[in-house]
Amino acid sequence: MFELGNATFENYIGQEQGFSEMAYQMVAHVLTLGYAVMLAGLFYFILTIKTVAPKYRTSSVLSVVVMVSAFLLLYAQANNWTDSFVFDAEKGLYFLGADADLFNNGYRYLNWLIDVPMLLFQILFVVTLTKSKFSSIRNQFWFSGAMMIITGYIGQFYEVTDLTAFFVWGAISTAFFFHILFLMNKVIKEGKEGIPEKAQKTLQGIWVLFLVSWFLYPGAYLMPHLIGIEGGFFNESGVVGRQMTYTIADVSSKVIYGILLTQVAQILSKHEGYKEEI
Ligand code: RET
């Protein structure tokens, strides 16, 4: 047994209880699914770029940036998982290897530091703001996006060792999160004004998708403590649950969100008389 300090709870479970074959493989598979979808998304955003008028294309370019960074991160995250835990043939379980790397979700947070500002910025190239100023919304998105991630990144180091720090940093992060939700709601409301009904409906769908998928991240942060302290999810179910939640959230907030924005841009391009170039 070695001292794990600020390591995340996945390592504690891997050291003390071990992972069953099913739990270990489910995490490995869901992480692989994650990066495979990002690569597929990359092709989608490149191949559809000319289906929208030039002024909307920055949105597709930003999706490409998000796909590349998420692909690399999720690839590293999947390898981190298989490098950290080793099969113990005697017990039939996977344990944290003696000289293995620790498993850490911190890579994700640093990836979000790139992706969150890009995803928020992206929508501003598709909608037309009627009252707010582009630069003001952009700067507030970036500031609160970065602060939300940095404070959450610090907090996640304390999920096992210091729950007060964990919840306080989480609460500070949540304040920035609510600011982002408030801004996004305003952007979508203004964006719906005066555009074709089909595009309005898709924008409304983007708002619902945004709400659901972005709320999954704080859910994953809280995962080990969702059912009480060291309770229901401080075990391998919590580990599998967290990685599944992240994957669903990543596919929704990056890929499906980008596809819906492309669809809005396609409707608007057509409405404005743009003929698709092939
Ligand atoms: C944290 C810390 C706990 C409190 C809150 C959080 C919110 C995280 C969010 C992340 C969104 C990430 C996205 C990534 C896409 O690439 C940091 C987990 C509120 C909302 C959309």
**pLDDT tens digits, residue range 108-128?**
998 999 999 999 999 999 999
Which token pair is 214? 């972005």
Between CA 40 and CA 177, with CA 248 as vertex, the angle to 5 degrees is 115
173 lines ligand 1 (CB under 6 A): yes
- For residues 265 and 201, what is the distance between their CA atoms, to the nearest angstrom? 13
69 lines ligand 1 (CB under 6 A): no
Q: For residue 278, what pLDDT is reported?
A: 59
- For residues 154 and 13, what is the distance between their CA atoms, to the nearest angstrom? 21
254 lines ligand 1 (CB under 6 A): yes
Q: Which of 65, 119, 148 to mutate to test the pocket of ligand 1 (most atoms within 8 A of CB)?
A: 148
177 lines ligand 1 (CB under 6 A): yes
| Whole-structure pTM value | 0.96
258 lines ligand 1 (CB under 6 A): no
**pLDDT tens digits, residue range 166-214?**
999 999 999 999 999 999 999 999 999 999 999 999 999 999 999 999 9
Q: Are 109 and 217 in contact (CB under 8 A)?
A: no
What's the gap in Å between 254 CA and the centre of ligand 1? 13
Average pLDDT per run of 10 along the chain, which is 278 residues long? 86 95 98 98 98 97 97 95 96 93 90 96 97 97 98 96 97 98 98 97 98 98 82 88 97 98 98 85
DSSP codes, the chain:
----TT--HHHHHHHHT-B-HHHHHHHHHHHHHHHHHHHHHHHHHHHTGGGS-GGGHHHHHHHHHHHHHHHHHHHHHHHHHHHHEEEETTTTEEEE-TTSPPP-THHHHHHHHHHHHHHHHHHTTTS--SSS-HHHHHHHHHHHHHHHHHHHHHHHTTTTT-HHHHHHHHHHHHHHHHHHHHHHHHHHHHHHTTS-HHHHHHHHHHHHHHHHHHHHHHHHHHGGGTTTTTTTTSSHHHHHHHHHHHHHHHIIIIIIHHHHHHHHHHHHHHHTTPPPP-
149 lines ligand 1 (CB under 6 A): yes
Q: For residue 106, what pLDDT is reported?
A: 85
- For residues 240 and 223, what is the distance between their CA atoms, to the nearest angstrom? 10
Q: Which of 74, 112, 142 to mutate to test the pocket of ligand 1 (most atoms within 8 A of CB)?
A: 112
253 lines ligand 1 (CB under 6 A): yes
Between CA 177 and CA 212, with CA 59 as vertex, the angle to 5 degrees is 35
